[in-house]
Chains A and B, each alone.
Chain A
Amino acid sequence: EAQVTQNPRYLITVTGKKLTVTCSQNMNHEYMSWYRQDPGLGLRQIYYSMNVEVTDKGDVPEGYKVSRKEKRNFPLILESPSPNQTSLYFCASSSTHRGLRFSNTEAFFGQGTRLTVV
């Protein structure tokens, strides 16, 4: 079954304690991205990656890091979490269309990770 898997689904942590949220897809997709969803603000892109070893900032990258060492995995790293990073996080992936564009293909989203930083 085609899917994007995030772990953990729920996490409560303390300020400053480094954490990693994992994301893995089994569809051999080139494009992966992370979003956060906050009430009243909708989903906002944090980081994205168009292929292995290629990552770039989205709209709200401050306080986050990512890596893309393998095509299937795109972990989100919070080096020193703060309470304003309490949010619902989603990972997504897409393939290219005939090797050219991601915009002409569907994106698959994970089930989400609810993070609380106290």
Chain B
Amino acid sequence: DAKTTQPNSMESNEEEPVHLPCNHSTISGTDYIHWYRQLPSQGPEYVIHGLTSNVNNRMASLAIAEDRKSSTLILHRATLRDAAVYYCILRPPFGNEKLTFGTGTRLTIIP
């Protein structure tokens, strides 16, 4: 399975934008880049996913490098409710197409 590398932790001030980086230098051409987050005492929650182009939804934006070896999840205006562990995951379109979770980035929001 192609691996991802994320910082263990990050801090951000409330109401500021947050950029969460992810490196995936061994990504294959068909792997989808997924982001999930896990709030305390809850199951993982889908945030966003993409293949090649940048993506936006109501929760966040996903910026994908042109060579696809890295991506950045952007929370445009962090709130205290965004404090969570964020996982960057490559999901292959073959085999069991599983989500392989790494250790993620623990995001702390400072009021």
A residues neighboring B (CB under 8 Å): 4, 31, 33, 35, 42-45, 48, 50, 56, 58, 90, 92, 101-104, 106-112
Contact = CB atoms under 8 A, between A and B. Distances in A.
A109 B43 contact: yes
Contact of B93 (A43, A101, A106): A101
B97 A109 contact: no
B21 interface: no
Interface string B59-82: 000000000000000000000000
A31 B97 contact: yes
Contacts of B7: none
7 contacts: A43-B44, A44-B101, A45-B99, A92-B43, A103-B91, A109-B43, A112-B43
Contacts of A50: 96
Interface residues of B, number: 24
B45 A109 contact: yes
A44 B96 CA distance: 13
B51 interface: yes
Contacts, number: 58
Contacts of B100: 45
A84 B38 CA distance: 24
A103 B97 contact: yes
Interface of B: 31-32, 34, 36, 41-46, 49, 51, 91-93, 96-104
Interface centre among A31, A45, A58, A104 (most CB of B within 10 A): A104
B96 A56 contact: yes
Contacts of A42: 101-104
B103 to A, nearest CB: 6
Contacts of B103: 42
Contact of B97 (A35, A43, A101): A101
A90 B43 contact: yes
Given A33-B98, A43-B101, A103 B43 contact: no
**Top 5 A-B residue pairs of the complex, sorted by shortest distance between their CB atoms:** A109-B43, A106-B46, A43-B101, A103-B91, A103-B93
A42 B1 CA distance: 15
A102 B42 CA distance: 23
